[in-house]
Amino acid sequence: MEYFANREEKRAFILLNAIIFHYHGLDENEEKILLQIAQKNDVEEELRWSYDFISEDYLTAFERARDYLNAEVNKLEKTKRLHFINQAWQANFEKGYITEMEATAMLKLARDWEVDSDLIGLVQEA
């Protein structure tokens, strides 16, 4: 059974990951991690879409993505919202560190999605 119910969920999932990695500029290691995430979740086409979304206006990309994600992700049940943001956290941690800017961005989104305390709990357990 596929985890994503539709294309919009796929786009939201990979846009979340892409926008966090792009927050301070995408480096080669981050791009490799994003590609692995896309391949693992069968969302390569949606990754290309997210790159186009971000490149439309790099300076406003996070706020535009936040608006898009809030509209799409808030439709999902809480467990899936938490899964999405936790996966983004884990992907960022995979590179060996999470910058303060990235952590702040993910916490803002988690607060928007009403899963911030749940995310903090998961991070503390890890």
Q: Would 120 be classed as within a structural domain?
A: yes
Which pLDDT tens digit goes with each residue over 40-81? 999 999 999 999 999 999 999 999 999 999 999 999 999 999
Nearest of 91, 76, 88, 81 to residue 117 by alpha carbon:
81
Contact 62, 23 (CB under 8 A): yes
Q: Would 1 be classed as within a structural domain?
A: no
Domain count, the chain: 1
Contact 98, 86 (CB under 8 A): no
Q: Would 2 be classed as within a structural domain?
A: no
Which residues lie below 8 Å from residue 9, measured CB to CB, with a gap of 6+?
72, 76, 80
Please report the pLDDT score of residue 1 as a whole number: 31
Whether residue 95 is predicted with pLDDT greater than 80 in this model: the reply is yes
Burial of residue 31 (CB within 10 Å: 0-12, 13-18, 19+) is middle
Which range of residues forms the domain containing residue 110? 7-125
Calpha distance 45→80 (Å, rounded): 21
User: How large is the angle between the packed helices 28-40 and 78-94, nearest 10 degrees?
Assistant: 140
Which pLDDT band holds residue 24 (cuts at 50, 70, 90)? confident
Q: Would 28 be classed as within a structural domain?
A: yes
